[in-house]
Structure 1
Amino acid sequence: MKKTFLYVLISTFMFSSMEIALKSVQGVFSPIQLNLIRFFIGGLVLIPVVMKNGKQTLLTSKWKSLGVFLLTGFLCVVVSMTLFQLAIMYDEASTVAVLFSCNPVFALLFAFFILREKISRLGFISLVLSIIGLLVIVNPANLTNPLGISLALGSALTFGLYSIVSRWGSQVTGQNGLATTCYTFLAGSVELLILVSITNISAVANYMNKVEWLKPFANTPIIHNISMNYFWILLFICVCVTGGGFAFYFLAMERAGVSIASIVFFIKPGLAPILAMILLGEKITINTWIGIVIILIGSVITFIGSQMEQKNAALEE
């Protein structure tokens, strides 16, 4: 149990510091470039863990699984995490962290509409509280940064969709959660590399520079500013936050189940803003604090509901 607690603790810190670490290199690396680097290296970091942690290997993956990983990679790395990187560029790290932590709410809705999974009473209460918390933080009556908030919510929504598609993909491919995540990172990195390479074609870059919203993506660099000057921060982002965070999360899940591992995302909405306030000096508004508390209450209800479902399932068996 001590080892499980350690896994959860490490994963919680890594995920809660993610937005802060990414914000700290803003202006040094292109958002798309950093996205590509961290998920490619993060995927490589996960390979040894996947190999050691079970019989799931790259060699046993069937060709039909490639389509699944390309789909999950596109949803996670290319779409969701690109929106996430852009959100951090346009908004406070604390706000992005809280809004992104609500991705389980969207996953719950997608599970209901796509997989036809029923929403329990406690799950519904948690869903309502999370939506109220989001509205309190976003404050639609007085939007100060609609672009940043829209990007963060778009990232959370598409990550929620990725979570459901990934669950389906695990059933199709026969891979466990850790292996699916590893191959998703690598497949998504390859897709993103192709897209980045296309933006560096002269004709394409010239066209993108003529379109206002495409200008930031023209001539996206790949290795620019990768040097010893930024070695330690890149090591932390790629190896610790991206690769290590997911590795410890899934190790905790395999030892103690989903409900215990999910504590990571229940703590993140409260811890990440505090870290952003201490390390980045970000000011957190009163409505954001109120929204965080409401979302945390909703997370606790989700945890209780998950525990009750597991006990009921055990009794039925």
Structure 2
Amino acid sequence: MKIAGDTFDPVQITFLRFIIGGLVLLPAALISMHKKNIILRSKDWVLLSVNGFVVVVIGMILFQLAVDHAKASTVAVLFSCNPVFTLVFSFLLLKEKLSKLTLISIILSIIGLLVIVNPANLTEPLGITFSLLSAVAFSIYSMISRWVSIRTGLDGLAITGFSLLIGSLELLALMLLTYLQPIVNAFSGVPALREFSDIPILAGISWGNVPLLLLAGVGNSAAAFALYFMIIESSNVSMASIPFFIKPGLAPLLAFLILSEKITVNLIAGILILLAGSLLTIYSNRTRVSPKKNNLLDT
């Protein structure tokens, strides 16, 4: 996404990746609904619309803005703290139990994030803020998706496909509004809002960057999001958070190899603390009772 941000507008690349991802997952979503004989009511579509708005319009635009205002390694690690919010939300809203080890892992994760951010010497405050807000939005998206699953019986593929597609269409509607002259005039007068005026939709697409768009849309959006919710279905929200604990160790390495970003001492120390928290989370999940007894579909 850092590379894509150098080619496309932040809002534009968010729209393109999720319209592609949503369309890729749409056939699987419709087939799943047909097999399960599920008919969605108007309230269900409202929930899916809210879900799409939260993840695409709010969460992923914030993520792309974060990538544009901070190092990719820092953004990736900070976004990985979304399980901290997810675990708390799952406890408050979905009544998932939090073991002592899970609570300790949350504390370690927070400490690790503080070490990485280093509040005493903030160098990328805007990017860091966008990253954390994006993580919160993704956590809310996870909770709404789980709620939709319990309410409708839709599987992860269907919920992901509908949410991404609807969210991208909502974003498209907002993008079209930026071409209205009153909005152009209002945004042009404010430096911070100029990039949200006349947002390009298809401009800049060429055969040379089609592979990048497919990677972002099919791999990073459709496949990754769908797999995430398939994990939730087979276990619980806590177990699905484990990949995000692995990400802090992987993302900086890839950023170093691909983007030549420097790996700082604070980043290494924070990653080690986050990995310690992830190990506790994994161990805590292994010591729980069987997934069937924890599966939220049974509650």
TM-score normalised to structure 1 length: 0.85
Residue aligning to 2:56: 77
Change (3 A) 1:313 1:68: closer
Contact kept, 8 Å, 2:101 with 2:284, in 1: the verdict is yes
Instruction: Specify which of 263, 276, 287 is matched with residue 255 of structure 2.
Output: 276
Shift in Å at residue 77 of structure 1?
0.5
Query: Where do residues 277-296 of structure 1 align in structure 2 (5 Å cutoff)?
Result: 277-296=256-275
Shift in Å at residue 112 of structure 1?
3.3
Shift in Å at residue 284 of structure 1?
1.1
Q: Does 1:24 align with 2:9?
A: no
Alpha-carbon separation, structure 2, partners of 1:268 and 1:244: 16
Residue aligning to 2:119: 140
Deviation by residue 1:184-242 (Cα, 9 ceiling, x = unmatched):
10111111111111011122111111123211111111011112121111111111221
Instruction: Specify which of 188, 200, 223 is matched with residue 209 of structure 1.
Output: 188
Equivalent position SS for 1:25 = helix
TM-score normalised to structure 2 length: 0.90
Contact kept, 8 Å, 2:29 with 2:162, in 1: the verdict is no
Deviation by residue 1:273-306 (Cα, 9 ceiling, x = unmatched):
1011001100011111110111111112112212
Change (3 A) 1:274 1:251: same
Contact kept, 8 Å, 1:199 with 1:205, in 2: the verdict is yes
Q: Does 1:38 align with 2:11?
A: no
Residue aligning to 1:264: 243
Alpha-carbon separation, structure 2, partners of 1:152 and 1:59: 36
Segments of structure 1 that go 5 or more residues without pairing to the other structure are 1-21
Alpha-carbon separation, structure 1, partners of 2:208 and 2:49: 33
Change (3 A) 1:55 1:189: same
Instruction: Specify which of 127, 138, 142 is matched with residue 163 of structure 1.
Output: 142
Contact kept, 8 Å, 1:101 with 1:268, in 2: the verdict is yes
Q: Does 1:103 align with 2:43?
A: no
Contact kept, 8 Å, 1:51 with 1:57, in 2: the verdict is no
Deviation by residue 1:242-265 (Cα, 9 ceiling, x = unmatched):
1122334455666x6457655432
Equivalent position SS for 1:61 = coil
Alpha-carbon separation, structure 2, partners of 1:264 and 1:110: 18
Contact kept, 8 Å, 1:42 with 1:239, in 2: the verdict is yes
Change (3 A) 1:170 1:248: closer
Alpha-carbon separation, structure 2, partners of 1:239 and 1:160: 22
Give the number of equivalent residue pairs: 294
RMSD over aligned Cα, in angstroms?
Answer: 2.4
Segments of structure 2 that go 5 or more residues without pairing to the other structure are none
Instruction: Specify which of 142, 160, 164 is matched with residue 185 of structure 1.
Output: 164
The one of the two structures with greater contact order (alpha-carbon pairs below 8 A, sep at least 6) is: 1
